């Protein structure tokens, strides 16, 4: 097990309920997540790109001037990348291509990073697969 106390920060900008949910979501319970409400537009988000299969929207707690999340509209068991099976290769490829479209749209094609946090040991907090597209500043290496 990975000691998580204080390592995986929860956004202070989230409202209390969302923050509590995020804090509770340190393991893959397989249930609905906040992203289901973003996909259904029950909760508004700042949408950057959308098609029939994926949605890209701005992260509520941006870690760079550009920080967009790209998610499949149908989770289909993909709570995390580690759950991927051969039937997911098409959507996985599409998500990655959309990350590139987002980077172009946001004007960061010359320097951007795509991140997938998988599981508690990587500080995943929402169990619906998502790609982080980050840029608009000099990115450092190695990441934390
Ligand atoms: O930690 P991982 O990799 O699981 O990333 C989850 C991301 O979802 C974090 O970067 C959060 O800031 C982001 N997040 C969480 C919520 C949220 C969001 N982005 C946009 N809108 C959000 N709402 C409305 N509610 C959240 N709880």
Half-sphere exposure of 48 (CA within 13 A, CB side): 22
Q: Whose CA is nearest to atom 16 of ligand 1?
A: 60
Contact at 8 Å (CB) between 39 and 99? Answer: no
Q: Whose CA is nearest to atom 23 of ligand 1?
A: 60
CA 81, CA 30: separation in Å to the nearest integer?
13
Centroid of ligand 1 to alpha carbon of 22 (angstroms): 8
Contact at 8 Å (CB) between 133 and 66? Answer: yes
Element of type H or E holding 123: none
Residue 9's pLDDT is 76
pLDDT in tens, 97-120: 999 999 999 999 999 999 999 999
pLDDT in tens, 17-62: 555 555 555 689 989 999 999 999 999 999 999 999 999 999 999 9
Q: What is the mean pLDDT of the chain?
A: 90
């Amino acid at each position: 097990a990975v000691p998580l106390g204080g390592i995986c920060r929860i956004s202070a900008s989230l409202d209390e309920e969302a923050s509590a949910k995020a804090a509770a979501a340190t393991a893959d319970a397989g249930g609905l997540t906040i992203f289901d409400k973003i996909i259904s537009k029950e909760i508004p988000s700042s949408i950057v790109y959308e098609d029939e299969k994926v949605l890209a929207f701005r992260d509520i707690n941006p870690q760079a001037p550009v920080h967009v999340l790209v998610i499949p509209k149908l989770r289909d068991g993909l709570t995390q990348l580690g759950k991927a099976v051969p039937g997911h290769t098409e959507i996985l490829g599409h998500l990655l291509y959309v990350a590139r479209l987002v980077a172009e749209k946001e004007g960061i094609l010359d320097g951007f990073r795509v991140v997938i946090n998988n599981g508690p040991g990587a500080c995943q907090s929402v169990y619906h697969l998502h790609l982080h597209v980050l840029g608009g500043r000099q990115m450092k290496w190695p990441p934390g």
